[in-house]
Each structure stands twice: as C-alpha cells, then as structure tokens.
A and B are shown apart, each in its own frame.
Chain A
Amino acid sequence: MSPSYTAVAARKTLHRPDAPPAPEPAKTQKVSWTPGVRGYVQRAFDADSATIGVGPVEMQRRLKAVITQAAEAGQLQTIDWTTYPLPQNLIKAEREALALSSAQNARIANLNASTSYLSSGANIPERSVKRKNEDLETTDAEEDAITPPWKKHNTNKGSMEDRMTGKSKKQDKKQKKNEAFRATGLGTNAAVLEKRKQRFGYVSPEPSPHPSSRNDSPERTGSLVGTCQTVEKSYFRLNAPPAPETVRPLPVLEKALNHIRSKWKNEHNYNYACDQLKSMRQDLTVQHIQNELTVKVYESHARIALEMKDLGEYNQCQTQLRALYKLSIPGRSEEFTAYRILYTVYTCNRTDMNDLLADLTLGDKQKPAVQHALRVRSALASGNYHKFFRLYLDAPFMGAYLLDMVVERERIAAMASICKAYKPDVTLRFIAQELAFFGDVDVPDPDAGLRQCLEFLCQHGGEPFVERKEDGEIRFHTGKAIAVFEAQRAAAFRSVDIKGQI
C-alpha cells in the first residue's frame, strides 16, 4: 500500500541542493581569449590609434561592450579581429551619423548663432546688407530644414546606441554645431559626396550582429536626387520636404540653364528669368550640388540682375559666388572679384573694403579686371574725378553697369570741385568731357553729349549759371555755382541706399 503522501528525501546535511544554474553573464565565464581578440584589444589601447575626441575611458567602455556582445553571440572566434574597426573609430562614426541626421534639424536652431559669425561676404550683424544675406540664408535653410523623407523612417539604431554612453551631451552639441556650421546653406562638396558614397557602397567587413549605423549610411549620404524632367519650373518657397518628383536632377538643370539663357537673350523678360533662376538655385541647394553648374547659374543670375539694376538679387548671388570660389570651384572669379570691388565702392562700406583688400591674393591683383577696379577705387578715394571718368568709359566686362550707379553722385562731387577751383567760368564742352558725357563714340549727333551735360547741370540747379555766348559757345559760371553744387554733393553722399530683397 502506497502512503498518501509524497516522500521527500530528508536533508541529511546542511549543503543546499543545487540551484538551477543562473544565466551567468558572459563576463564571468572563463572565456578563452583568442590571439585575434588579444591583438584587437592591444591595438585599441595602442597610443598610435588614439583618436582625438574619444577619451580612453570611453574607448575602454566601448571595447568592453564590443567584446561582450561578441562573446554573447558566440562570435569571438568567427569575427575577423584584425580588420574589425577599433572602438574609438566606431564611436566617432556613430557620432557623426547621429550628428548628420540631426544636423538638418539643428541647422535652423543654430542658424541664428552661426549667421552672426559666419563670414560669407564679410557678414557683420548690424549692417542693413545683412538683411539680404540673412534672407538668403533663411531661404536656403528653409529649403533644407526639412527632414528628408528617409529620416522619418530612421529606426532606432538598437542597443549599440544605448550602450554608447561615451558620448556626452556637450560633445553631441559640439558635433551638431560643427555640422550645422559646415552644412549651412551650401551643403557638401559633390566630390566628397561621391567618395562617401563609394566608401559605404560596399559591404562593410563586420558581421551583422552589430546593428551598426553604417547600414543607414547610404541613405544618409545620398542626398535627395530629383526625378523631375521638365525644363521650366517656377519658384516656390519651400516649407516642407520637397518631393523628388518636383526637383530637377543635374542633367535637366544643365539643359534648363541653357534654355533660360537663350530665352533671356531673345525676350529680355526679367521677371520670368529671375523666377526660373531662383528655382534652379533652389533645386541645386536641395540636392547639395556644388559644382561648376552651380557657379554658372549664380553667375548668370548675377549678370542679369546687374543689367536690370537689381542690386538685392545681385548681392545675394555675389555672396554665394564668393563662398563657391573659396571652395576652389572654377568660374569667372576675375570678373566677379572686380564686380565685388566696384560694389563695395558703391556702398561706401569701409569695413567691407578693408576686409576685401585683405582678402585679395597676389594672383587676383595681377588680373586686368581686378586692377581696373582697384584703380577705380583709388581714384575715387583721392578724389581724382578725371581719372575716374576715364576708367568709367573703359570698364571691362559688365563693370559699367555697377559704375553707372556711382556715376551720378560722382558727377556731382566733381562739379563741386570744379566750381570751387575754376574761375570765373569754363566751357560746357570741358565739363562734358571731364564728366564723361562723350561716351559713345559712334553716336551720330556730336552734340548729344553736350545736351546731356546741360540736362545734368540743370537737373541739379545749375541753370542760372549757364550762359550762351554770341559765338555759340556755352559757358558755365563756376564761381557763382559753388554753393549749389556743394549742397548737392553733401546730399548725395549722406545716404547710400542698399536695395534689399523683400
């Protein structure tokens, strides 16, 4: 008969029965370290592989994490430790991945901080010109402040992230700020972009158990590439991520530029051309394209703006071009450096002029157009109106358009000098010659210059001093006209108006 209880063996000793084996962490197991692992650890600690920005403490933590994970996954033997990336490099790569993906969001936040110091076109916070530059920055930044579509699906990088305790908040912010500075407005160099793509295009040698940021990298480095094929496209300010179907890729943009150029030549429709060019600039910025085409687009826009005296737009293009030339992208830098000098002469901005002169290289100063612009500057600085007007008639490229804006006030200034110095009177012909009213040699009417000169004098209150002599010659009584022209001169130089972009 079996008892109605279950027999349990009585304890005979104090020894506890074996507890079910607890899941020991891999650390406490006696793991055999292969020479490969040992070599890896050695390399990580080696002074030569020390990376700036990753301290030894972080590196050690990461090393422990890497090895722990490998051991847990039972891959200590299978991983090729000789080519496995060192912990410090893993940390750096992940930091940068993190920074780049959040850089676009951080850009707006950091923009205000950066634009006060970013020297694009000699930025100085309080100048009125800054408004234009800020507008430019804002426009581009708005276009870029978008979160690219792929970023929304950027899954959590997994446990590696969590274990990345080494990265302090400060370094994170510093990285973000660096990225933001670097990436503001102009994105990355196309050539570097290509290299990056190549680097991450191939399968990385590490095995898959490490959910690594590198898997995300093709998406990260591959900026938006458009698919739109239409050559003409109007400009709309972006306030959302642009869909690739609305963005034109590089080859289409090249066609578009030629198309716009020929249309401009034939029709001279400024509003249309401006609109089209702005949208092209937008497409280029959104796709981070910075190459010769970008330079050509900005140059074309600048020239067109100059012709139509749109100084606001011109200044925007000029600023961008300066930054692009600094990246060593080939373009007509001689021409545009000369324009920049003339522009600064026009705005009478002494600080800018100082900065500009400091920036000029020896090579720049050899170029004829730049030399011409510098001579204009020095002539005006010393008040040598005679030389200035000769130079005005002789301006290379489209410099004459810029000088046109200066000519009016310089003529008044010259008149003030002439009135004070010459007594009792001078011939109208002399004034017309000095003040470059005889510009066009092939004008059929030889007296056109004289008439224009007369008009100019009368416009500025000089009529009472004109005298028609019996022999047909017209004389101007300089002695009596001093006060009038002196007042005009003061008024002309009092305020220089920079037309800003609305």
Chain B
Amino acid sequence: MAAIFQGVGAAATLSSSPSNSFVPKKFLTSPRRSFSVRKVPSYVVVRSDGSVNFDLNSKSRRAQQLVANAVATKADSSAASSSSNPGHELLLFEALREGLEEEMERDPRVCVMGEDVGHYGGSYKVTKDLAKKFGDLRVLDTPIAENSFTGMGIGAAMTGLRPVVEGMNMGFLLLAFNQISNNCGMLHYTSGGQFTIPIVIRGPGGVGRQLGAEHSQRLESYFQSIPGIQMVACSTPYNAKGLMKAAIRSENPVILFEHVLLYNLKERIPDEDYICNLEEAEMVRPGEHVTILTYSRMRYHVMQAAKTLVNKGYDPEVIDIRSLKPFDLYTIGNSVKKTHRVLIVEECMRTGGIGASLTAAITENFNDYLDAPIMCLSSQDVPTPYAGTLEEWTVVQPAQIVTAVEQLCR
C-alpha cells in the first residue's frame, strides 16, 4: 500500500494520466493560480517496483492510484497489486532490522553501537540476532556512556566506517548533544570538506507508553538548528526500512527518529531492494480542501481524524513530511498551492518545535497562496505527565484535528 503513496508531488497527479480513473473531475480543471515550477534537486529514487526516477519533475511517472480510503496503513487494500512480487508482511521494528541487516551484508563498513544492541538484541528488538550473525566487533554493546560512544561513532565515521549509533531512548542523546552538534554536524565544514561523517543516529522517542517526562522527549526540535545534519522520521514499516537504508548509504550524518508506539505496526512490504528518498515527503492521502502536514505517530491521529472529516464532507490532503531537516518544500508547496489552507499536526512542543519552523518556512515561501493563517497543533509545553489521561491530553488528539480543520475551512 505504502508503495503507491511514496513521495508523489501533487504536480504529478495533476499533470498526468488519463489512466487514472479515480481522479475526480475537480482535479483536471485549471488551478486558481499558475504553477511556477521551482528548481528542484534531482534525486535518484528507486521505487518499490524497481523503476528508477532521476528527476522529480519527470513526466514519465507510473500512473498513481488515488484511493479514497482514509487510513493508509491497513494492509487490507491491495498493497501487492502494484508489483509482481507478493512482498512479505512484517512489523515496523522488523522492517528496521531488515534494512539494517541488508546494509550490513552489503557493506562491511557498517557497524552498530549502542546499549544492549548486541547480546540482548536491542531494547525494542531492532537489532535482535544481528550480533550472532555479524559478531561482536560489528554489533557493539556499549557501556552507558552516550557522550563518548556517540563521539566514538563520529570518530570512526571520520575514517570511513559507517556506524549506526542507537540511543536507547532519544532523550538519552541529550548527553551526547555536544558531540552531535559540534563534531557530527560541523566537522565537514570546519575541515573544509576533508572529512565526511556518514553516521546514522537512531532511536525511539515520543510520547506514548506512560514512560514519564524524561523518557518521552521529542528531540527533533532540539536538533533541528544544527547545521550539517539531516533528520528523518519514519512512520510505516515501508518507509522505516527505506529510510534506514538510505540513511546508512548517505554520506551525511542522518538522525532517524522512530516512535515508541509505532514499533508494532504491521504492513506488507516489497521483497526487492528499495530505499526511500531522505529529503522527500510522502503523500498519504491526496485531497483538495486543506493540507495537513504531519509526521511519525501523529500521522495516525490525522488519518483517524480524516475518516471523520470525510464523513463530514471535507477532503483533506495528508502529507507525511518524513524529512524534518530539510523540509521537502517542493511537495509541501505544491500542496499549498492547490488547497490554500495548511494545518500542521505534530508531536513536538509548541515552542520551537518542528511545526514552528515549518510554519515559518511555509509563510515565507508561500504566503501568497494561503487563504487563511497556518494552524499548528502541537503538544503542550509541559513535561509529559505519567497519568494516562493527562498524557493523552499532552498530545494532539483526532477530535482536536477535526475541530481545527472545520475552523480552517470555514
């Protein structure tokens, strides 16, 4: 299922394809404003069917199937119909492991370091059995010393190794902030390009299992200003595996944010080798009335709200931004130009979160296309409480999303 929704800019749906029988008539009328195609970088994107796109602008795109189904991840829709292989079903943490394992087989320079990743198998089982397969030198159990083992990962990366550093919980990486900011992010620049740091820093974060304030942190807002790093957030098994592989292959330091509540999501993913573009957003549900930008766990709250909204007659366009740094302003921009209303739903705190930066970026670039001020729904600016009901109200709930869309579309 997710294969169909991967990274399609809205321009593609508009410009193509008579074979697209699901397209409502509205899409084919000329838009209110003319599109100016912005200069975009060209990426190599290997899609799940094996075809390779070299340029996001290219018209030679496969016909994209629009599905009115609001919830993207249920495997009941024909996920496999797009490719000849039936694919295989697995959980998100297994998808991460598969991606990691494949990359470790492919490149002997890839190694994993973290607490309890080796013999224990990983606190969320992402690295289960990897130590048995690859040995203790490639899957390293570290002592509880985030600052230094992150530093060691960066030092190893300077020589050409490709370590994957796991923070048992993203919040623990605050102890390694100096290493991540000064060394990981900046060494490529301060050395005048001599060193690249092909490191991947990954770990679960986010609110959800009544873990308390210190274990429910959203570090994407703290890291987002660091120059030189890339940040991505995965949300489905498909993009988890794809982003993990792309992050490992990237020459830049990449921070991969996972979410504690999403590890047991099940999906059918393709058998063949694929990666997801690190800088690309994912179109979850094309729509027309409002653009909802979200990432990670909030995607599911949004899709749940979308069901309600569809019943009420709204047609929201849901985009999983995936790339938190840099933002995929191309996909987002095309969506804004189509719908003229933006709602951002995120799990970061209101102050200084990803939503705050995204609001600023959209306002600066697409102010002329907006019919209403951007609404940003974020978590409350409080430490996450332990009590279940309070914890629920820290984060954005689907009911609030529905209300916000109704307000926005008034």
Q: Do the two chains belong together in a single complex?
A: no
A interface with B by C-beta (< 8 Å): none
B interface with A by C-beta (< 8 Å): none
